[in-house]
Amino acid sequence: MELWPGVKLLEPKIFNMQNIEPYYQWRHLYTAEEDPLSPFYGRTYSEFEFSQTVYNYYIHPQWDEFGSNTLYLKILFTDYEEGYTIIEFLGEWNDAIGNDIMMLKREVIDLLIREGIRKFILITDNVLNFHTSDDSYYEEWNEDLMEDGGWVVMLNMPEHLQRELRSAGINRYVFFQEYEEWRTHQPPIVLQKVEEQILKRIG
C-alpha cells in the first residue's frame, strides 16, 4: 500500500495521522501560542475539529501551518537567552513543487533569527517524504547563523530522506543526527547532547 508515490505503509493498521500529536510533555515549560515573540503567538486550537490535511489524510489540530499544503510544524520549545529552538515536523517536505523551505524560512525561521535564535533543532521523525529543489534557502539559513556559531540539526530523519538531501548538497548546511530518546529528556539536555555530537563531528 502506498501513501503517495515512494512512501509505502508496511503496517497500515497502526498508521493514523489524526493520532500523531506534536510532543506535548514540555507544554508546562513553553507554548508558542503564548509567546509574544513566536510566529504563532495568539493562535487557538480545537481538540475535536480536524480541518488540516496532508493530501487526503486529516492531521491532529495541534499542528501549525505556515503556508505549505503538505508540511506542518510545532515549536516545542524556545529559549531566547540560550538562543535555541526545538521544532517538530509532520508531513511531506516538498521544495520542488511547494517551495516549502522558502515559506519555512520567511514565515518562521527569519522571525526567530530576528529574536536571537541561532541554534535550530528540527525533529523530523514524522517527515514522510522529501522532494528537493536547489539549496539556496538552506545556504542562506546557514549564512545567517555562521557568524554567531549557530547551526541547524535534523534529528532522526529517515535514511532514505537523508540520501535525498545529500544528493542535493543540503548536508553542507545542516547536520543529521540520530537521537531516539530525545522525548525522555528536558530541552536543555537535548541541546547539550546535540551540541556534543556537533563538536565531535567538527572537532
State the sign of the Cα–Cα–Cα–Cα dihedral 128, 103, 116, 43.
negative
Q: Give whole-number Cα distances, 48 to 43, 45, 71, 81, 91, in Å.
A: 16, 9, 20, 35, 20
Q: Report the CATH number that the domain containing residue 34 is assigned in CATH.
A: 3.30.750.24
Q: Pick the residue with more confidence: 151 or 6? A: 151
Tell me which residue range forms the domain holding 16. 2-202
Q: For residue 174, what is its C-alpha cell?
A: 545542516
- 9-23, 85-99, 117-131, 159-173: the lowest-pLDDT one: 9-23
pLDDT, average across residues 175-187: 97
pLDDT of residue 70: 92
Look at the chain and report how many structural domains it folds into: 1
pLDDT of residue 51: 64
State how far the Cα of 175 lies from the Cα of 65, in Å rounded to an integer: 24
Q: Using pLDDT thresholds of 50, 70 and 90, give the confidence band for residue 53.
A: confident
CB-CB contact of 50 with 41 (8 Å)? no
pLDDT, average across residues 114-127: 97
